[in-house]
A and B are shown apart, each in its own frame.
Chain A
């Protein structure tokens, strides 16, 4: 089961929870599972079949470039964070 860290502005969709555990073999499946429990979640973070470009995933503490079809190992911690760059 993956653990998703819920961003503050999405917690109202998730009953206020800061983190939610869901099943899912891929990033997309995890987000769909969240959407089943909290309708509307998927549409908030996915646009045109991809994670919105302003956002990024962090898997187990590291921001990585991922698509919705990428596999997620069990017990992975997923955080959705703002995308950013350095100078």
Chain B
């Protein structure tokens, strides 16, 4: 579905082959673990076997004597860091907490927390030597659940931590595992409840889940003899790694070069650093390049999943109107503060034009790994809660659930709970497209079958991008950028450049380069790259057009305003016989002023948030509890689909991850804090055999903040699936599930009164 606002393009909206495709499908693309340097040695990390323990001593002396061991590091090798939040250009972090997560200092705060690392001639030798490190622990009781951690008598992860009220900075008197508290409020919730037709109150829980990227974290470092450091790593942000490593190791930023390798998935999980400073220190100590690659168990136990949550919602309706929502959101941050509860609380009511709301948000530390971003971080759990209750309200009021959403939809000018008014958004268009979709208009028939819908929102980001565009004398172009390509951004940026310059897509060769070779680029996260780096590409393209116009004017002896650049051709307005193609002008660059290079570095403004509405049909086997997804349609406002295939791929991928989160995935801990399903055998992610084709409907409501109308598309699609599937199961079984995952065991227990 395309709105009347969308102009006609020649390259945008087509589906060319991705520039990195051949290298990937032939196995030649270089991922982090493919780096082999002369003299390379290998590192392994000793991790805490306890979920909560005081570290009394670490004795590495025997390990250091082990044959083949070349270096050992512990937290004592990390420079002291101030226990305060520092701004690192694109994000604010507590460097001491980052440092403590990389190598534990006084306490191990989760099972798998890194304690020490060894570099040796081979991974096997390093692993053997780990057994010779003696760590004396005082084992402490762990706290693993967010509600347990909030109790006054809960074991404290950090005895000096006070609860900070986020917007005021006030600290609680007593220490607590609640790191921050925040509230959003508007209107009069109690009055709305009092006058409502119906008030529904429900409690929801979700478990920690992992992004499940295929490629584990890996990093290789070479500490050069001149004191500079080079890191080859798998990351969503080479500049973020550079900034964090330089801060943690107290190095000047320009002493650290980060080379981003091809990435085997991230979804937010490859924004933090884990191994990079460790291999850097080992390289410094050993004088050799050092590589470390995590095992799958290490990835599960020691990198950042997303939060487990407890969310309580009370909501009311009058007629077909949603009249008030009161909610308490408690998110597990893991071992250090920083859950995405802020985003969860800010997004949960975004699909609605709602006057009365009162949201309380708690960020809570527990003895589990520090959470990381995961696709629209915080939003899916919040949407699971509110969209389940909205479904109940609509059913109670005998209103079609999509009609209910349409009537109550947010639109341009509607204020979010944080007071910000929406610019042009496509929420209504998305709900309308869902209502009119072939899927929704088809019947759902048969026993144990049901249909569910849900909506979701994500902000999408802007931030900083830099690109350089070099025009070659044969008319080909090198596009140099610094944003990790996760979802096809080399193609989407090259397409925007081709559109801007009016040249064929395949004349442009895009490259993602290291941090020494381009200006600063923020992370590939927040669904920002096609938008923000796209803006930079557009600016660089316009820069080239201006240069070419100036040169053509000089060649033809006319004023610049007498030259126009249209569809890759320079034309003289004073003499229609005079024209030069882009390629012809490129060939003359040496004679008209030298190389033609366009550049842009910017802080992108005008990011456009986006909405999605999903429709799902399920069949529930009452004997086995198995939920089969019969049909799934994802409708989303994508702004302008630069490369529709990649947009569809993002939507399908997000929906499938949401299906896994809804039905199977969970971090399953025993009472000691041991993750008992730390492998892909036991951590059940959906495969192609588990899901049908995810049908997509691209609604294009161009973002007015971008010359081509781009909105981020990668995160929204994981927001609605949890609730959509819960609503479908409720429709099929008459039983509302409020705890994730809705696994076969849980369904059988609940449906048969065995819970």
Contacts and interface: CB of A to CB of B under 8 A. Distances in A.
Contacts of B271: 85, 87
Interface in A1-43: 5, 7-10, 18-19
A59 to B, nearest CB: 10
B166 A54 contact: yes
Interface in B75-94: 85-87, 91-92
Q: How large is the interface on B (under 10, 10 to 19, 20 to 34, 35 or more residues)?
A: 35 or more
Contact of A83 (B92, B373, B376, B419): B92
B137 interface: no
Interface stretch (B111-119, B395-403, B522-530, B579-587): B522-530
Contacts of B377: 84-87
A74 interface: no
Q: How large is the interface on A (under 10, 10 to 19, 20 to 34, 35 or more residues)?
A: 20 to 34
A9 B182 contact: yes
Interface in B162-200: 164-170, 180, 182-186
A10 B167 contact: yes
A58 B528 CA distance: 18
Nearest to A47: B169
B540 to A, nearest CB: 22
A53 B419 contact: no
A65 B458 contact: no
Contact of B418 (A10, A44, A82, A86): A82
A62 B182 contact: no
A86 B459 CA distance: 8
Nearest to A48: B84
B374 A87 contact: yes
Contact of B373 (A19, A53, A63, A85): A85
Given A62-B606, A83-B92, A7 B420 contact: no
A86 B167 contact: no
Contacts, number: 121
Contacts of B87: 50, 53
A61 B420 contact: yes
Nearest to B522: A85
Interface in B319-363: 340, 342-343, 346
Interface string B398-421: 000000000000000000001111
Of A9, A44, A63, the most chain B CB neighbours within 10 A belong to: A9
- Main DSSP-derived SS at the A contact region: mixed
A85 B460 contact: no
Nearest to A86: B526
Contacts of A18: 186, 419
A84 B363 CA distance: 13
B715 interface: yes
A81 B168 contact: no
A7 B419 CA distance: 8
B110 interface: no
B440 interface: no
B568 interface: no
Contacts of A54: 85, 92, 164, 166, 180
Nearest to A18: B186
A70 B121 CA distance: 54
Contacts of A53: 85-87, 92
A73 interface: no
Nearest to B340: A84
A64 B527 contact: no
Given A62-B607, A83-B92, A87-B376, A9 B165 contact: yes
Contacts of B186: 8, 18
Contacts of A69: none
A85 B526 contact: yes
Contacts of A68: none
A79 interface: yes
B178 to A, nearest CB: 14
Contact of B268 (A44, A45, A87): A87
B458 A86 contact: yes
Contacts of B165: 9
A82 B167 contact: yes
B268 A81 contact: no
A64 B462 CA distance: 9
Contacts of B459: 63, 84, 86
A8 B715 CA distance: 28
B420 A79 contact: yes
A47 B86 CA distance: 12
A62 B605 contact: yes
B603 A44 contact: no
A65 B166 CA distance: 18
Contacts of B180: 54
B267 interface: yes
A9 B419 contact: no
A7 B460 CA distance: 22
B291 interface: no
Report the 8 A-B pairs with minimum CB-CB distance, sorted nearest first: A87-B268, A86-B526, A87-B373, A5-B419, A53-B92, A8-B185, A82-B342, A7-B167
30 contacts: A5-B418, A7-B184, A7-B419, A9-B165, A9-B182, A9-B183, A10-B167, A10-B168, A19-B419, A45-B167, A45-B169, A47-B169, A50-B87, A54-B166, A61-B421, A62-B606, A62-B607, A79-B419, A82-B166, A82-B167, A83-B342, A84-B342, A84-B343, A85-B373, A86-B343, A86-B527, A86-B715, A87-B267, A87-B269, A87-B374
Interface of A: 5, 7-10, 18-19, 44-45, 47, 50, 52-55, 58, 61-65, 77, 79-87
Given A79-B419, A87-B373, 10 more contacts: A8-B185, A53-B85, A62-B423, A62-B605, A79-B420, A82-B182, A85-B525, A86-B377, A87-B372, A87-B525
Interface of B: 85-87, 91-92, 164-170, 180, 182-186, 211, 267-269, 271, 340, 342-343, 346, 372-378, 418-423, 458-461, 525-528, 603, 605-607, 705, 712, 715
